[in-house]
A and B are shown apart, each in its own frame.
Chain A
């Protein structure tokens, strides 16, 4: 019975992942972004939900991955002369093989850089706890964006163009909706496995009481850093894909948008129910649909609506959708309450 339901769920998601972009060709880019947001919420939840470390700075890895992938393409296929005139749209067209190879290499390089960066930053920043960690990562996100805007090598404040999507490969939205669907599915399955291991229990123990976890002999600092590295690893893929999908990389608005993507990740995970497996997925989908609805109906006021939504979610549904459902019908989640225990 249970297995049947699970099969249906995963099967349904797989089918929708494959056929949704084909059925709604006008919304392909939106669908790609929806899967990207699912990845965002899932990666945020590793720290925020499972480990109790509320990070506002995960966007750093998104941006770094994006820049790394785009720069790889530039280094591979364009010389410096062309790099200078890129803003004038001089022949950025690549053959499909070159494009895919460049993207593949860029993604790998981006992932390596992001994991190393997460290790480096994590060993410093993850010593902080609670709200100090939250504010510090908030500062980190903005600072990295501002600094990226000052580095000439990556185009400074005037931004950087990713290569154009090869015409021979069909619409970019279709390719990237599959890219992001596979990414979010892989992320989900990896995290589901990870949470079932000893490591998952370790980070849960850190959330519940870090001092006790340490006293029990758990290597908390290492576990925290590894968790952040996992988060950074998947985010770098999201960044690489989004940079290529968007075509133009601006340091503050596209690569390190702390005020939009950076906060959305937190919000989506909380909306769905942080610390649950399906919560971030559900939250991201609901959030993206609501957000697009606000954008198309309340143009100009969409951030007002967003602010109200944040306040309402945080105050009235601090447990999120799944958390609320679980509290209401605990027996459906296999939680049994012992009477008079």
Chain B
């Protein structure tokens, strides 16, 4: 049983030999025609997403990111053996090389737009009908969503790619990820700060830099 952390270039993987993966397992690299996968061997492994294991996975991915372009694999990616891993690398070689090119020199930044709790000025529900109340909430939600979209657009323009998540969970009104050139990260943060300062009822949280999880596109389909 092997557990895979990330796809990268062979030179990047070679620099990782002294680091440890899940459960302290030695990190290994498998190379095929200009592409490498970073993985560890396990006799048996049922990786539950505990904070400790997720952090161990993340640390490996970040170590790869510090050394070169990385396509992070989702936590819990397991394969039967090295042959299977090699087969995946071979079968998807062109796609992986293209994805590595795309993320090279880039990081992922996250955006969370959070709605401040409503300050009801109408004195609460009072004697309004259920319909009025619900439609008022729909209106509030729409205007908050519109404002959040206006925050997103200029940030997306600073990024090479962006993804807006479907159905952000409350209190978030919008959750998005951006693939940003490392040199533009300060601009991105400044832009987000300026946009946030103009908003009264929305709180803006920029997170990262993260490995480009949202732009790796190497999950099994």
A and B: interacting chains: no
Residues of A within 8 A of B (CB): none
Residues of B within 8 A of A (CB): none
